[in-house]
Amino acid sequence: MLGPIYKDFNAKHIIDLPRLLSYILKTLWQSVVLLLALLCKRRSHHVLVQNPPAIPTLAVCWLYCLVARANLIIDWHNYGYSILALNLGDRHSLVRLSHWFEGYFGARAHANLCVTKAMKTDLLKKWGIG
């Protein structure tokens, strides 16, 4: 159902835009496509999402879970903000926004899975996610 819409989108159009604007447009596009995909399928009782990517995945899946009365489960493999910081630097506003975003939506998950005990300890220490 989403195939024709998605195929018509050409990412080359946003490459020439300033980086921040292209991030915003890409995030909006991904949000719409993901939300439509979630809403057009049979209702889920649980949504398991791998992190990263965090933006917009965590917010869109959280919103779907709120509407569908489903449980959000995050499978933490890394932090999206730390990967973003590799390109933009630790102090960049998008990195700080991403850090807040992951903590905010991560704390709202019904359950969290971690790939290592170190990740579990870090989530608890950083955001109180246990």
pLDDT digits (tens, 9 = 90+) for 14-59: 455 687 788 889 999 999 999 999 999 999 999 999 999 999 999 9
Q: Is there a contact between 94 and 43 (Cβ–Cβ < 8 Å)?
A: no
Decide if pLDDT at 13 tops 70: no
pLDDT of 99 reads 96
Check pLDDT > 50 for residue 6: no
The number of angstroms, rounded, from the C-alpha of 14 to the middle of its chain's C-alpha atoms is: 20
Residue 88's identity, in one-letter code, is L
**CB half-sphere exposure, 30, CA atoms < 13 A:** 16
Q: Say how far apart CA 23 and CA 90 lie, in whole Å.
A: 17
Contact 95, 115 (CB under 8 A): no
CA distance 129 to 15: 36
Structure token digits, residue 81: 């903000």
Least trusted range by pLDDT, from 23-27, 104-108, 120-124? 23-27
Per the prediction, the chain carries an average pLDDT of: 88
Residue 20 vs residue 121, higher pLDDT: 121
- pLDDT exceeds cutoff 80 at 77: yes
**pLDDT for res 22:** 83
Q: Enter the pTM of the model.
A: 0.81
Q: Give the span between the Cα atoms of 126 and 110, in whole angstroms.
A: 18
What pLDDT is recorded for position 51?
A: 94
